[in-house]
A and B are shown apart, each in its own frame.
Chain A
Amino acid sequence: MSRQSNRATDSKKMNSELFTLTYGALVTQLCKDYENDEEVNKQLDKMGYNIGVRLIEDFLARSSIGRCQDFRETADVIAKVAFKMYLGITPSVTNWSPAGDEFSLILENNPLVDFVELPDNHSALIYSNLLCGVLRGALEMVQMAVDVKFAQDTLRGDSVTEIRMKFIKRIEENLPAGDD
């Protein structure tokens, strides 16, 4: 019965590996389907967006977090609650722009790239670009338009992974005419 031992402890880790592997299979498929890396990046972003707009509901339901007062609070919630909840990591929030509308998320380790090595002919591929889409999609659903992109990536030789987020505007909800 040695097989029964210490299973509960790593079931959480296994689950994140399942996600990592599935994501890998997806990126592989995209690389097969599209000829250039830019197109793959775009697809990943688009799919991330679709995930984000749905994931935000799950997030709000689970975390019972209310409205954020400012962008700094939003940044903290993303890093400390959302990333922790879904990827099991807590990126640090740094490099605020003076105007307070732009910051970086620094990921010490990125679970998505656990088993990944980029081949030479895919130098333009932003492997984890899905994350940008997810963040963009999720924030759009809470009336925030943001611009998200990777500034550094360990896969491409940088020492950390850095996601840069820029606040663009608050999305005003347009109520249908005569409905207020």
Chain B
Amino acid sequence: MADEAPFQLLHSELIHYIYKSADGENGRNITKLENMGFRVGQGLIERLTKDTARFKDELDIMKFVCKDFWTCVFKKQIDNLRTNHQGIYVLQDNKFRFLSHLSAGKQYLEHAPKYLAFTCGLVRGGLSSLGVKSIVTAEVSVMPSCKFQVMIQKM
């Protein structure tokens, strides 16, 4: 897939731009990136689900996000999906695309969050378009694997 490279480069430009323009406040930057992802996620899932059947339940939606949505964005599926059946889902990607070009050691671990914010937004935006309100956070313990935690907000 040749058209992956432009998206990856655009994503790093995005991060570069946000971090360069704002005055160093990390939390604000993360929020900005997250919001951009949210918008993109909303639009993308609308296009993706255009011809799909209605979802059975929340789990069905999450599976769709792990398979189709993830494949569309990252060319692979989520490696592991876990849930406590009470509205918390953990999506694990063992080789997260946006981290795989960083050194795998501990050296850049502190920079990982900025590479995850956009994707958190993507997931949250996608879910919100499907009528699921959520909070999405991410954590990395060993690069380049990454866990996204989705907390469903009951409406």
Contact = CB atoms under 8 A, between A and B. Distances in A.
B72 A15 contact: yes
Contacts of A21: 39-40, 43-44
Main SS of chain A's interface residues? helix
A90 to B, nearest CB: 14
A118 interface: no
Interface in A1-56: 2-3, 6-7, 11-12, 14-19, 21-26, 28-30, 33, 43, 47, 50-51, 54-55
Contacts of A19: 3, 6-7, 10
A149 to B, nearest CB: 20
B9 interface: yes
Interface residues of B, number: 33
B72 A55 contact: no
Contacts of A12: 1, 3
Contacts of B32: 29
Contacts of A11: 71-72
Interface in B61-75: 64, 68, 71-73
Contacts of B107: none
B16 A115 contact: no
A38 B58 CA distance: 46
A131 to B, nearest CB: 11
Contact of B10 (A3, A23, A43, A87): A23
Contact of A51 (B10, B43, B44): B10
Nearest to B17: A47
Given A17-B44, A115-B43, A22 B11 contact: yes
B59 interface: no
B27 to A, nearest CB: 17
A55 B5 CA distance: 7
Given A17-B47, A54-B9, A86-B6, A25 B39 contact: yes
A122 B129 CA distance: 28
A6 B68 CA distance: 12
Nearest to B53: A2
Most central of A12, A22, A54 by chain B CB within 10 Å:
A22
Contacts of B155: none
A26 B44 CA distance: 15
Contacts of B64: 3
A62 B5 CA distance: 11
B2 A26 contact: no
Interface of B: 1-7, 9-11, 13-14, 16-18, 21, 32, 36-37, 39-40, 43-44, 47-48, 51-53, 64, 68, 71-73
Given A3-B52, A16-B3, A19-B6, 12 more contacts: A12-B3, A14-B48, A15-B72, A22-B7, A22-B36, A29-B18, A33-B21, A58-B5, A62-B2, A85-B3, A86-B5, A87-B6
